[in-house]
Structure formats: C-alpha cells, structure tokens
Amino acid sequence: MKKNKEIHLNDLASAIKNFIFYLNLYKERINDLNVFPVPDGDTGTNMYLTLKDLDTIIETPTKLQLFLKEIAHTTLMGARGNSGVILSQFFKALLNSYEKNGSLTINSFSETFLIAAQITRESLPNPVEGTMLTIYDDIGNAIQEKKGKVDNFSDLLKIIADTSIKSVRETPNKLKILKDAGVVDSGALGLAIMLNSWYFSIDKDISIEIQLEKAYEKMIAGMSRKVSESFMSNEEELEWGNCTVFTIKGSDLDIDKERKKISNFGESAIITGDKNLLKIHVHVEETESILNYAKSIGEVENLFIQNMDEQTRNLQNNQLDIDESNNLKVETAVITVCEGNGIVNSFLEAGMGGVKIVIGGGTNNPSVKEIIDVVSKIKSPNIIVLPNDSNVIPVVKEVINMNLDKNLFMLETASIQEGIVATFNYDSELNYEENIKNMEEAVKSSEYASITKSTRDVTIKDIKINKNEYIVFKNSKINGSYKNLDQALYEIIVDLYSRKDLITLFVGDQSIKDNYNDIEEKLNNDFESKEIVILDGNQKYYNYLLLAE
C-alpha cells in the first residue's frame, strides 16, 4: 500500500488475501489456546472458515462499495461461533464507515474499530472484556488519541498493529479465567495476526512470515502456548432398531411401575409424565407388542416410529435430511444443533417428527448460512431454535436478526443436555407459545453435568486440575477434578441425585461401551429409589453427558 490518505479497493482485496492465508497458517496455534483444558479448541478454525468464502470475491473485485457490501454479507453468512460473529462485525463496521463518509480515508477508517466494538456488544448476549471485543476498543481508542497526527495509512496501520499486540498481552489481566489458565485470548490473538499481516505487507522488502512470527512471540511471551490438544476417534456403527415414541393418555397411571414394565420391551427407554399422561421413548425390534401393552393401560396418541438403523447410516454418509420423511408439516418445528450418532438420534426421537438437525457442536460450529438453509427448508411458520452450545448462540441470534419469513425463537440452550430436555417437552400438536413455555420450564427445572479429560495442568477458580485428570462440569461450571473416571462419574451422580430422581447418561465415543451393565448395576444397587437411563451418545471429547430431572 502506498503512503496515502485513502484506502483503495485493491489495497483491501490484498489485505483480505493475507487475512485468509495467515489465519489458515496460524489457526492450529490459535486453537491451542482454548481457555479450558479440554480438547475442543476451535477459535482459529472458526475465524478462518468465516473468511474462507471471501477468496472467490476478492478475485474479481469491482467497485469499493459493492466489494464492502459483499464481504460484510459473506462474512456474516459464514460466521461460525463467537469468534466468527465478532470477526464479521469488523467488516460490517468497515461498510458502515464507508457509507457514512463516502470513502475510506484515514478518518473514516479510524472509526471502524469503535463501530465494530459497539455492534459487537449489541450482537452478543453476554459481551466479555479481555477478548476480541477489547482489541476493537483498544485500537479505536489508540487511534482517537492520535487523531490529527497521522497523515498516511502506513502510520495508521502501525498504530493498529502495535496496539493489537499490546492489547493481546493484556487480555489475561482483563479476564481472570485467562490468567488462571496462563494464556492470552485466542480470538484476540487471531485478530492481531490478521492486522499485523496487513501492516507487514506494506513493506515489500521484508518477509511477512518472519515479522509475523516475531509479533506472535511477543504476544505469547511468558505465557502458555498450548492449552489443549485435539483427539479424534471413529464412531462405531450401532444397531438401534425402531425408535418408537408415543404418549399414553389415561388416569391414575403409575409412572414408576410403567417405567419398569415398558423398559422390558426394548432398549434406551425413557418414560416421563404424570398420572394422566405418559410420554414414552424406546428402541424395539418390533413395535406391535409394546403398542398393544400401551393400549391396555390408556389411549395411545402422537405415535412416531422411525428406523434408526437406516437413519444412522444416512447420517454417517452425510445424508441426514429428515425433510425427506416428514417435511416438518407442523405448526411449530424445532431446529437443534448437535452431532454424534446417539445424540442426533435422541433428538429425533424426542421430537417425534418435528425436529430438524443441523450437524454441529463445540468444534464444528455451524455458520449463519447453514442455519438459514435449514430454516428455508422447513414449511412450518414457527420455528424454535436450540443452539445447545454457548458458542452457537450468537450465530443463531444473527439469523433471527435477519427477519426471515418465519417466526423464529431461540431458546438459549447452552448444552446438549438442555436441548434434549427441551425437545422431550416439545409437542408438535401444541401451539408456538405453549411449546416455548413448556420447553423453557423444562430447562429451568433440570440440571446437567459433563465429564472430560484435562490435557494440561491448570488452576481455574481455585480448583487445581492436573493433566489427564477428569474434569467435572456442573451446569457449565467446573465442579471438580478426579484421577479416576468412575469416581468422577459416581460423585457427580451422588450430587445430582440429592435433588433429582431421574438421570439420563449419554456415553461418549471415548468411553468403553462394554461396561454399560456394570455401571448400571452399581448405580441401581446404590440408588434403588432413583432411576438411570444409559444411552450411547457417541459425542466427541466428553466421556459422559448427564441430564438430571
């Protein structure tokens, strides 16, 4: 870029090429800085994927205003996770600055970062300092302090680059959990990598790679450079039989008695309700026997039967599209974000034909566009969206803000377990408002926990966690750390049983499935008055997910 007072289309296109290239180069190192010592770091990947689709736009740029509109739209549609949404706000702010001033001069470009900070706060349910948001603020304020003293873009970009490095270094001082974990904020680091690559690209006589590596080392000096490491495993193909879901309307129904009887008909039985209405979910090889029994004790309604073996094969072949079978012709449909064969099947079963799946999760956040594509396929006028991950909530919020031709409501489920209990209390025959009320109440009255393996030594909120110990999260907060997985599971179940009567345990793809019977037998012996249902969740990274009702 020449030392001038205005940024031109080719300058911006070149900068974006560098953003994409260097985010891709550094994404794994950004991922490694996930603040919790669990293997689900994905910030770098989310930021890279948010920008990746820009590579086709920058090949044939036309006019600057049109180009800015295209990159703002494309990054929003491709935004994944908190980091992707926050990153997309920079390009939205860039467009706002241009439209306000008619060009991108030093003064108008200087406003971009403060605008980005403002619209980021508006886009997130719980804005947090010590993150990318802080970088926007710090850069915007630094530029304001130099207002009138900078007369070319080269000097302006130097202020931006230098401030971003300093701001990243300060993130642990603004967010305690970063300090406890001994890392800088991953999203802030990714943003700084982008901005520094832009500055270093001005001087054609230097190596961007060498200078960027020096900047990276400055930002992490004295800090840990790796918090988590990813691990992957192959999901087993399981035999599910026929998922059979229905309600039984009756009088003076004994739910405890019916749980025991209905459980004998098949696997993965879940029975909830009261003396007047039971909701049943069970996997059976043939449905006639259980339906005959159900009819003997009451009136069977809302019957939904699905061959889960075929459904699972479709999922494994990336062919999951339940519109093929039911087109979601219900007054109110549900969109839920999840992955793992067992988890997906549990949502489909609980939803009784009214649920549409968006494949995604902690390390595979869906984009705005992916969710919009699913919304467009649903014929129902009303849709309840379950993000099931705090990182997906801002993405869904952006979808809702687009005012699509649907009534969209997001129930802010922050976990798979909350999503499951919400879906199990969804009824396709009830209206929009009744479903929202019932699902919200179910989430509020439930508790959940998860267990995963630590990948490093760390102290968080006065809890010391050693590498390879098992971390227990209860309602999204760290509850404890254990050397033995069985002990971790037992202790959290004792805790949950002190307040709840029914626990559904989803077993992850890292856990040994052969010891199901041992786990169930021990828990049933120790807690005779309580109930536990053990299901294959096949979720990655978490050995166990627990839902307590």
In a domain, 169, yes or no: yes
Tell whether 161 and 254 lie within a shared domain.
no
**Backbone φ/ψ region at 398: left (φ over 0), alpha (ψ -120 to 50), beta:** alpha
In a domain, 39, yes or no: yes
Report the interhelical angle of 416-424 vs 432-445 (nearest 10°): 130
d(CA 147, CA 170): 23
Closest CA to 461 of 51, 156, 98, 176: 176
Most confident of 91-95, 279-283, 377-381, 520-524: 91-95
In a domain, 154, yes or no: yes
Q: Which of 194, 220, 246 is the last residue of a domain?
A: 220
Tell whether 212 and 268 lie within a shared domain.
no
Give me the residues paired with residue 451 across strands: 472, 544
Kindly report which listed range (282-291, 308-317, 474-483) carries the lowest average pLDDT score. Answer: 308-317
In a domain, 301, yes or no: yes
pLDDT in tens, 252-273: 888 778 877 887 888 766 665 6
pLDDT at 317 over 50: no
Give residue 241's pLDDT: 60
Closest CA to 1 of 149, 158, 169: 158
Tell whether 271 and 203 lie within a shared domain.
no
At 29, the pLDDT band (50, 70, 90 cuts) reads: confident
In a domain, 461, yes or no: yes
pLDDT at 2 over 50: no
Specify the higher pLDDT residue, 523 or 470. 470
* Domain harbouring 523, CATH code: 3.30.1180
Give residue 524's pLDDT: 74
pLDDT in tens, 271-311: 656 678 776 767 787 788 888 888 889 888 767 676 655 54
pLDDT in tens, 532-545: 888 888 888 888 99
Strands 277-284 and 242-249: antiparallel
Domain count, the chain: 3
Give residue 222's pLDDT: 76
d(CA 138, CA 531): 53
Q: The pTM is what?
A: 0.65
Give residue 329's pLDDT: 67
Q: Is 468 exposed, middle or buried (0-12, 13-18, 19+ CB in 10 A)?
A: exposed
At 225, the pLDDT band (50, 70, 90 cuts) reads: low
In a domain, 366, yes or no: no
Tell whether 200 and 243 lie within a shared domain.
no
Give residue 122's pLDDT: 74
Give residue 62's pLDDT: 74
Give residue 279's pLDDT: 66
DSSP calls for 100-168: HHSS-BHHHHHHHHHHHHHHHHHH-SS--SSSHHHHHHHHHHHHHHTTTT--SHHHHHHHHHHHHHHHH
Tell whether 452 and 505 lie within a shared domain.
yes
Closest CA to 80 of 343, 363, 355, 375: 363
pLDDT at 224 over 70: no
Q: Which of 170, 191, 220 is the last residue of a domain?
A: 220
Tell whether 50 and 176 lie within a shared domain.
yes
Tell whether 38 and 83 lie within a shared domain.
yes
pLDDT at 401 over 70: yes
pLDDT at 36 over 50: yes
CA dihedral sign, ordered 231, 234, 236, 242: positive
Give residue 432's pLDDT: 92
pLDDT at 240 over 60: no
Give residue 309's pLDDT: 52
In a domain, 265, yes or no: yes
d(CA 342, CA 524): 23
Specify the higher pLDDT residue, 36 or 193. 193
Report the interhelical angle of 43-52 vs 186-200 (nearest 10°): 50
Query: In 10 A of CB 287, how many CB atoms?
Result: 19
In a domain, 502, yes or no: yes
The H-or-E segment that residue 65 falls in is helix 64-78
What mean pLDDT comes out for the span 211-227? 79
Give residue 415's pLDDT: 92
Q: Which domain holds residue 184?
A: 9-220
Determine what percent of the chain is predicted with pLDDT higher than 70. 84
Specify the higher pLDDT residue, 310 or 455. 455
Structure tokens at 370: 């992916």
Tell whether 18 and 162 lie within a shared domain.
yes
Give residue 194's pLDDT: 94
Tell whether 64 and 186 lie within a shared domain.
yes
At 326, the pLDDT band (50, 70, 90 cuts) reads: very low
d(CA 96, CA 112): 8
What mean pLDDT comes out for the span 84-106? 88
pLDDT at 498 over 60: yes
Tell whether 57 and 90 lie within a shared domain.
yes
Q: Which of 307, 332, 347 is the last residue of a domain?
A: 307
Tell whether 19 and 115 lie within a shared domain.
yes
Tell whether 249 and 285 lie within a shared domain.
yes
Structure tokens at 412: 């802010």
* Domain harbouring 273, CATH code: 3.30.70.980
* Domain harbouring 178, CATH code: 1.25.40.340
On average, the pLDDT of the chain sits at: 81
**Backbone φ/ψ region at 535: left (φ over 0), alpha (ψ -120 to 50), beta:** beta
pLDDT in tens, 118-148: 888 876 656 788 889 999 999 999 998 887 7
